Amino acid sequence: MTHPTAPKKNYRYYDFIMVAFVTILLTSNLIGAAKVCEWHGFTFGAGIFFFPLSYVFGDIMTEVYGYGRARKIVWAGFAAMIYATVMAEVIIRMPPSPIWPNQGALETMFGSTWRIVVASLTAYFIGEFTNSFVMAKMKVATKGKMLWMRTIGSTIAGEFVDSIIFYPVAFLGIWETSLVIKVMIGNYFLKVAWEVVMTPFTYKIVAFLKRAENEDYFDTDTDFTPFRIST
């Protein structure tokens, strides 16, 4: 067990996990964030295929490396989302050449209203920190046992916060209220189900990283404020 005052360590896989987390996050926001799908009468948002994996990686980060290092990754993802959003807006607003006929398609694919942007950033920021906080606290409370309960429990909390922020802020008044509620509830349960399905893989990845990094962090004296970068 690592104490917060122990010397800082260099990790072999931390940077790779950070890159994977940010990649998944950007993918979920750039591809299908506003698309509504239906399968056998079940309505859900297309981002469901990507975004829940960010919570899986968040759980893995907090479990192995601790809340402080997971916090750095959340901030990295937040900065990447802002950069991608700003650059997409800049590219869309640049005057297209008369010989280039795809401006409408570009706007459809990568254009977002600032309402959706604000909803996405706010929901991500609060939801991810809720997930990591609950995960870290549950680990200390359970003395590192019952990983499945911690990963699923933290996802239930984090995804609930994310869902109740994102869909009403982004789409209430644009979509019919019944559709907002339907997609919000459907996506929430699908996100939690994703975590349950991924649990065996989470166990394997966590076990591998703990052995490889010689780390199993317990946040016993951690400062849980989200507004800092240092661990």
Give the torsion sign (CA, 226, 72, 62, 185).
positive
Could you give the 3-state DSSP secondary structure of residue 117?
A: helix
Identity (one letter) of the amino acid at 185? I
Cα 32 to Cα 39: distance, rounded to the nearest angstrom: 15
Q: What pLDDT, on the 0 to 100 scale, is given for residue 200?
A: 96
pLDDT by 10-residue block (mean), the chain, 231 residues: 59 94 84 70 72 89 96 94 90 91 84 81 95 97 97 96 93 90 89 93 97 96 90 72
Q: What pLDDT, on the 0 to 100 scale, is given for residue 33?
A: 59
Backbone angles phi, psi at 43, to 5 degrees: -100, 135
Q: What is the DSSP letter of 5?
A: T
Confirm or reject CATH 1.10.1760 for domain 14-95+103-213, answering yes or no: yes
The counts of H helices and E strands in the chain are 7, 2
Residue ranges covered by each domain of the chain: 14-95+103-213
61, 58, 37: which is closest to 49 by C-alpha?
Answer: 37
Alpha carbon of residue 6 to chain centroid: 29
Q: What pLDDT, on the 0 to 100 scale, is given for residue 51?
A: 76
Cα 156 to Cα 193: distance, rounded to the nearest angstrom: 10
Q: What pLDDT, on the 0 to 100 scale, is given for residue 78?
A: 94
With beta carbons less than 8 A apart as the criterion, state whether 161 and 134 touch: no
Q: What pLDDT, on the 0 to 100 scale, is given for residue 155?
A: 96
Cα 3 to Cα 7: distance, rounded to the nearest angstrom: 9
Q: What pLDDT, on the 0 to 100 scale, is given for residue 120?
A: 87
Cα 14 to Cα 20: distance, rounded to the nearest angstrom: 10
